[in-house]
Structure 1
């Protein structure tokens, strides 16, 4: 026979029927609850004054606070490291699922890395300086045009990284792209404001 857990409203109805001067057997039949269960619910209600289930201890967590911090440190140190490897590096060893669950509790998730064009430090500095210089410009009156080769055929598949939502554009969560392919197409385009 399978064991089922009755919800609190159903147990409360049973108690209400019994308090309305019905017998436990009559109340159990009316509520559609086994007689033995009804007797147990009534006895617990008389003893504790409540029909709520007591909290269960459950299995103690295998992951302590210090182990959880270690898992987070490893995930932040190498964003591309698979959960299975992280689990193998800690003691006691953890499954990939356990690592993922505990990282999710800290708001770290596996996501496909954003692809960005590889820029040198000097290029980044120059672009930032240009953007700051032209911050007040009315860009609605500017038409942008450019031509470039589009290289077809990405040699890599998806690269997964572990990060929090606000860390999506951090340097170690990005994948630089390079122009390298035997197939290329010249594209020219322009865009502008309204």
Structure 2
């Protein structure tokens, strides 16, 4: 295999070759292999230059056609991950791409993986009502809001929507309907008033304590019955012994 030669050494080889030196002599003087000298001379003779020509390299799998198809698939549904998109692309056009290539191609076209914005799932009527409410209260002062009582509530998640959900979007598309994660008040989560929870805990403790006290009373009665029965049995035995002695 020919050695990698610098541009200066290739120029020196060509200079010695023009002076009539043999390839063996050139290799000995320039401290390189005869194969490297032969390759350098052949390259100089055909294109007339000593620099290495740029190779073609591996054929690109993510062609413009494949990339356009990938972008269309991603825009239809913004949520699939790179491995899922690669699998769908293979099923649709038969081109197999690595997930990293899919991610890079989409990123080059402005589709970056970002966390989905969480927005409540609302109907058109609810959106209009919320907008009107915001307009009615936009000029409220801090004193006005201090008169509002906010209940102490805790949220308990009953469905697995608490993790990070990613979508592919371009800059400025974060609040587009297809790029957000709709949230539902019920049954995704339950809001519980903390005061009611505390009162229920107190009531439950009272009920549990009553059960414990009742068990203790019942156990005492059982123990007392056993003691009384033992006394009765002992009296019978004593009376029997007395009668036996008289006889």
Give your verdict on TM over 0.5.
Answer: yes
Find the aligned partners of 1:168 and 1:4 in 2 and give their Cα distance.
55
Find the aligned partners of 2:44 and 2:172 in 1 and give their Cα distance.
49
Distance 1:63 1:169, change over 3 A: same
Native 8 Å contact 1:71 1:90 kept in 2: no
Matched, 1:181 2:180: no
Cross-structure match for 1:54 = 54
Unaligned segments of structure 1, at least 5 residues? 187-194
Residue 12 (structure 1) aligned to one of 7, 15, 25: 7
Find the aligned partners of 1:124 and 1:93 in 2 and give their Cα distance.
43
Distance 1:88 1:52, change over 3 A: closer
Question: Cα RMSD over matched residues?
Answer: 4.2
Structure 1 position 183, deviation (Å): 6.8
- Number of aligned residue pairs: 171
Structure 1 position 111, deviation (Å): 3.2
Structure 1 position 155, deviation (Å): 2.3
Structure 1 position 21, deviation (Å): 5.6
Find the aligned partners of 2:56 and 2:104 in 1 and give their Cα distance.
21
Distance 1:53 1:150, change over 3 A: farther
TM-score normalised over the length of structure 1: 0.60
- SS of the residue corresponding to residue 71 of structure 1 reads helix
Normalized per residue, which structure has more helix? 2
Q: Any residues of structure 2 matched to 1:35-184 within 5 Å, and which?
A: 35-48=34-47, 49-56=49-56, 58-59=58-59, 61-62=60-61, 65-81=64-80, 82-95=84-97, 97=99, 98-122=101-125, 124-125=127-128, 127=131, 147=150, 149=153, 151-153=155-157, 155-156=160-161, 157-179=163-185, 180-182=188-190
Bigger RCO (CA 8 Å, 6+ sep): 1
Unaligned segments of structure 2, at least 5 residues? 18-24, 195-247
Please identify the structure whose Cα radius of gyration is greater.
2
- SS of the residue corresponding to residue 116 of structure 1 reads strand
Cross-structure match for 1:190 = none
Cross-structure match for 2:212 = none
- SS of the residue corresponding to residue 90 of structure 1 reads helix
- SS of the residue corresponding to residue 181 of structure 2 reads strand
